[in-house]
Amino acid sequence: MITGLPAGLCAKENWMEGNVGKFGCNAILCPPGSYSPNGRQISDLNPCLPCRTVTPYYGMTFCGDEYLRPTAFPSQQRGTPTPTEQWIREDQSERDILSLVFTQTLGTRSWINSDGWMDSNRDVCDWYGIVCNGEGSIKEVDLGSNGLRGTLPLEFYQLKKLERAVLSNNDMVIVFSGIGQAESLRELFVSGTDTYDTASIRQALQLSVLDISNSTLEGEMVGDIFALVN
């Protein structure tokens, strides 16, 4: 979960198809104590709505903690886990996760190639940019330079068999919180994006290739690169 939002992002009035200029920070992530189905405001008809119970996190897509559970991350072996590491959404199917990626990165309006995506009659292994292993689990996602905009949902890291992800050269935000859940991830390419919570990279114990060139970085990058064991 995200507990802070750099103020500089809210000054990018032309970002998110101009929605930042219209709705301010809400166009990036709904503030603590509010939610929307997309985790942010994308139109006048889809604002950030108040929750009955206040949560300390940005970008909530629901209120309350009924869909949250405590979990242990590999980084717990290194010390006290952060609040981000202590709570995650319940596991979802790979189709659900990819559908969330499509929705939150403006797939319908922004993607250059979305062949097969959201087609209930096609296996996710046949969706553009998706490669599966022999067991039918997703092992590679290649959506580089494909017009993705918005924020990569943290549920993306619940793709347990994912080995390689290419998200480079998209006008999107990538937060590394919870990356340790992607326990098979070995190669990650996010050059030309905005990346946040780089301190969480140390969770990616299997990661051996990381491309963050030409990216906006927020976090203690140098120390965390050397924290990788591979």
Report yes or no on 159 lying in a domain.
Answer: yes
Whole-number pLDDT of residue 79: 37
pLDDT tens digits, the chain, 230 residues: what are they?
A: 676 777 677 778 888 888 888 888 888 888 877 778 788 888 776 777 766 555 678 888 776 543 333 333 333 333 333 333 333 344 578 998 998 899 888 898 899 999 999 998 999 999 999 999 999 999 999 999 999 988 888 889 999 999 999 999 998 888 887 899 999 999 999 999 988 767 778 888 899 999 988 877 655 554 455 455 45
The torsion defined by the Cα of 8, 10, 15 and 21, in degrees rounded to 10, comes to -140
Domain co-membership, 10 together with 59: yes
Whole-number pLDDT of residue 91: 52
Report yes or no on 85 lying in a domain.
Answer: no
Domain co-membership, 57 together with 104: no
Cα–Cα distance measured from residue 71 to residue 57, given in angstroms and rounded to the nearest whole number: 17
Whole-number pLDDT of residue 226: 46
Report yes or no on 84 lying in a domain.
Answer: no
| Tens of pLDDT, residues 154-172 | 889 999 999 999 999 998 8
Q: Which residues contact 209 (CB under 8 A, 6 or more apart)?
A: 186, 187, 188, 189
Contact 89, 68 (CB under 8 A): yes
Domain co-membership, 114 together with 191: yes
Domain co-membership, 116 together with 3: no
Domain co-membership, 123 together with 176: yes
Domain co-membership, 102 together with 184: yes
Report yes or no on 214 lying in a domain.
Answer: yes
Domain co-membership, 56 together with 101: no
Phi, psi of 33 (to 5 degrees): 85, 10
Domain co-membership, 45 together with 112: no
Closest residue by Cα to residue 26 from 12, 36, 40, 39: 40
Report yes or no on 81 lying in a domain.
Answer: no
Cα–Cα distance measured from residue 175 to residue 105, given in angstroms and rounded to the nearest whole number: 13
Whole-number pLDDT of residue 87: 36
Cα–Cα distance measured from residue 132 to residue 142, given in angstroms and rounded to the nearest whole number: 12
Contact 172, 159 (CB under 8 A): no
Report yes or no on 82 lying in a domain.
Answer: no
Range of the domain at 45: 1-66
Cα–Cα distance measured from residue 18 to residue 42, given in angstroms and rounded to the nearest whole number: 10
Q: Based on the structure, what is the number of domains in the chain? A: 2
| Tens of pLDDT, residues 17-53 | 888 888 888 888 888 777 787 888 887 767 777 665 5
pTM of the model: 0.62
CATH code of residue 123:
3.80.10.10
Domain co-membership, 46 together with 95: no
Domain co-membership, 158 together with 99: yes
Report yes or no on 130 lying in a domain.
Answer: yes
Per DSSP, 119 falls in state: -
Domain co-membership, 30 together with 126: no
Domain co-membership, 218 together with 121: yes
Report yes or no on 86 lying in a domain.
Answer: no
Give bridge partners of residue 69 from the DSSP assignment.
88
Contact 56, 33 (CB under 8 A): no
